[in-house]
Structure 1
Amino acid sequence: MPDHDKMSNSDGSGHPLRWGAPGTAGATIAAGLVFENVSHDYDGVASVRDLSLSIAPGEILCLLGHSGCGKTTLMRIAAGVERQRRGRVLINGRNIADDTTFLPPEKRGVGLMFQDYALFPHMSILSNVMFGLTGMPKKEARAAALSALGRVGLADYAADYPHALSGGEQQRVALARALVPRPGILLMDEPFSGLDKRLRDNVRDETLAVIRETRATCIIVTHDPEEAMRMGDRIALMRRGRLLQHGTAADLYKEPVDLFAARFFSELNQLEGLVTGAGVETPVGVLDAAGLAPGQPVDVCVRPQGVIVNTAGLCGVPGRVRSKRFVGEVDLLSIAIDGLDTPLQARVRAGSPWERGMDVAVTTDPKDVLVFPRHEAQF
């Protein structure tokens, strides 16, 4: 049996083996997808709650959230694998599912790629990819399947079986199978979660390139915020079955709607503060009040990279370095500040002069400071 991991993941010198030639993936006609006030439950336990969301033709949307927030349920509703309890689903403005209408999955023009890839173990790789091409003459289906395998770099393994492939190769076969019918909408459920970090970045980037070539509308379910930011034109952040925030990666990172959303995209130092006429009074100084009324208790969040460390006696509040950890490109500092029960965490350039026990002065970078009314920050 050939060593597929070495053959497909590197050329023997540690360099990833290239996928097929760019520009060879077959293009499709992208479709728009709309959810209108969609709700669903399982035996009375709500999974999706009155959710409305619109995905434009050709857009790549990442559905982001913790396990159990309703991401996969929403994707299954779009595919027709689940029928929602309430609300409507539309493709290109056509109602495909509501209280009285339900278009079956095979008529929706939707491709579905499962988290476990769902390859048939008793069928060859070529047969797996051809599986959804039942309406096409066998010769044409074979040619289309070989072309799709070629684009993901696996045409030479068409006669092999899934058990002979690595996880990364199985992911590529599943992608080829989902795309070969040229669906207007492609749905992908945690497609990279089974890959180790060494492979994930390369496979993810190549997969994104193939999706862009096909021009299909794509929904990618993920719990990884970095993955969502790298892949999505827009991100839909879900919490407990509801759509919490929808926008670009920059929108969600720079202007999160609440503390939950802010924590999803970065580590935070969380401080209590009170709005006064001068701003927000905190143990690290008076910060911008973000338009909040005086007297309002707030939660102030400072990203670790927004903690600026200066020589003691210079501008800032006094602190003392409790610990320093080198983690490659940065040093992680833990800094004790009077008035704070928990040390402040800071990320500074590696090779910084600060050492454990040193007295320092601390200020903050306004672009890395977020302020939320206290009652909105509870979750």
Structure 2
Amino acid sequence: METVLELRNISKSFDNNPVLKELSFSLKKGYIGCLLGPSGCGKTTALRTIAGFESPDSGEIVINKTVVSNREDGIPPEKRRIGMVFQDYALFPHLSVKENIAFGLHKMRQVAKDKIVAELLELVGLTDVSGHFPHELSGGQQQRVALARALAPRPELLLMDEPFSSLDITLRERLSLEVRDILKASGISAIMVTHNQLEAFAMADVIGVMHDGKLVQWDTAYNLYHRPSSRVVADFVGEGVLLSGKVTGDSQVKTSLGTLVGRFTYPCRNGCPAQVLIRPEDIVHDDNSSFKARIVEKNFRGANILYSLLLPSNEKVLALVPSHHNHKVGQEIGIRPQVDDIILFEQQA
């Protein structure tokens, strides 16, 4: 499949402070990619460098087989055929919905312009409010206007900077799925940046976890969660804890939860010390189990309760339990591990 975007060893510093460190990845045409990470990891700088708002200190950026940016030269942002959706949407308050969408089409004949605007209004579901102004719209509607305006010039690539951060949680989750459907229907390739894992999982075909200016894993959401390549990814993606363990066979490791038997995500030689990632769903609440753990913290989540449990070894694990099992902090409950894929990292001496 054709590649629409490629970053080759991009580095960028501000005041001798490295922000991007040899960042490399590629995105296939029609795919949605996401740069995921905490504040200060470099993801927004990466997006601005792709857009052309920043120039790399080294490396190069290729869009549709054309080098658009390197240390010596670069194509200006307005000539890169890139669309941009900003965090605050940046809609023009004095223009109507259809006028906002048409803003980037000023060089086009009116008939052609009207056709594109009508198609996009239908695509984003805003035909009925085409004459309204931004202040008359909900946050979700404003977000879709910003998306339609970015799509109107038919960009090669769409960039989205924390596009859902100003919305409430319920709307954020719904719109992330809607925007994915819109992008897939239009066939546009996209890169978004976010610190929100659920947004990344809902939106992206491929996700890059960033840490300290580096891309530590570029993979599917499933692999990031079930096959993290490092402790950094394991700590950041999802919830879980690392327990000390020792490999005692090809598919078993001894831990404070007992001996776990399952498929190793990474090879680890017999006898080696390891750290084993235990997710909340790996711990099953079982009143009949003789293995007990003490509740030290509880977080009610509606359908479930997330318990923090202290093991006899003084290590802690998390357990996601249906909320009708409502226990008090300090109480001991029976648990048992249920782990099929064992995520473990060899412990260095």
Give 5+ residue unaligned stretches, structure 1.
1-29
Matched, 1:310 2:282: no
Query: Counterparts of 1:66 and 1:324 in 2: how far apart (Å)?
Result: 25
Q: Do the aligned residues in 2 keep the contact of 1:306 with 1:368 (CA within 8 Å)? A: no
> Which amino acid is the alignment partner of residue 286 of structure 2?
N
Matched, 1:292 2:265: no
Q: Specify the alignment match of 1:373 in structure 2.
A: 346
Query: Counterparts of 2:3 and 2:132 in 1: how far apart (Å)?
Result: 34
Query: Counterparts of 2:40 and 2:54 in 1: how far apart (Å)?
Result: 16
Tell me the alpha carbon deviations over residues 254-304 of structure 1, each in whole angstroms, 9 at most, x when there is no partner.
Answer: 110122211222211332334557954432113368643466443322111
Decide which of 45, 65, 77 is 1:73's aligned counterpart: 45
Q: Specify the alignment match of 2:303 in structure 1.
A: 329
> Which amino acid is the alignment partner of residue 332 of structure 1?
L
Superposed, 1:39-54 pairs within 5 Å as: 39-54=11-26
Q: Specify the alignment match of 1:261 in structure 2.
A: 233
Tell me the alpha carbon deviations over residues 220-259 of structure 1, each in whole angstroms, 9 at most, x when there is no partner.
Answer: 2111111111111111111111110011111111110122
1:73, distance to aligned residue in structure 2 (A): 1.4
Cα gap change, 1:324/1:123 in structure 2, threshold over 3 Å: closer, same or farther? closer
Q: Specify the alignment match of 1:62 in structure 2.
A: 34
Cα gap change, 1:141/1:325 in structure 2, threshold over 3 Å: closer, same or farther? closer
Query: Counterparts of 2:249 and 2:145 in 1: how far apart (Å)?
Result: 61
> Which amino acid is the alignment partner of residue 103 of structure 2?
F
Tell me the alpha carbon deviations over residues 180-238 of structure 1, each in whole angstroms, 9 at most, x when there is no partner.
Answer: 11112111111111111232222222211110111011112111111111111111111
Q: Specify the alignment match of 1:165 in structure 2.
A: 137
Q: Do the aligned residues in 1 keep the contact of 2:173 with 2:199 (CA within 8 Å)? A: no
SS at 2:105 equivalent: coil
> Which amino acid is the alignment partner of residue 275 of structure 2?
D
Query: Counterparts of 1:353 and 1:160 in 2: how far apart (Å)?
Result: 49
SS at 1:366 equivalent: coil
Q: Do the aligned residues in 2 keep the contact of 1:36 with 1:88 (CA within 8 Å)? A: yes
1:176, distance to aligned residue in structure 2 (A): 0.8
Length, aligned pairs only: 344
Superposed, 1:131-170 pairs within 5 Å as: 131-170=103-142
Matched, 1:246 2:218: yes
Q: Specify the alignment match of 2:177 in structure 1.
A: 205
Give 5+ residue unaligned stretches, structure 2.
none
Query: Counterparts of 1:63 and 1:347 in 2: how far apart (Å)?
Result: 28
Query: Counterparts of 1:95 and 1:194 in 2: how far apart (Å)?
Result: 34
1:76, distance to aligned residue in structure 2 (A): 1.5
TM-score (normalizing by structure 2): 0.88
Q: Specify the alignment match of 2:337 in structure 1.
A: 364
TM-score (normalizing by structure 1): 0.81
* The 10-residue stretch of structure 1 (276-285 or 163-172) with the greater mean CA deviation from structure 2: 276-285
Q: CA RMSD in A?
A: 2.7
Query: Counterparts of 1:93 and 1:130 in 2: how far apart (Å)?
Result: 29
1:313, distance to aligned residue in structure 2 (A): 5.7
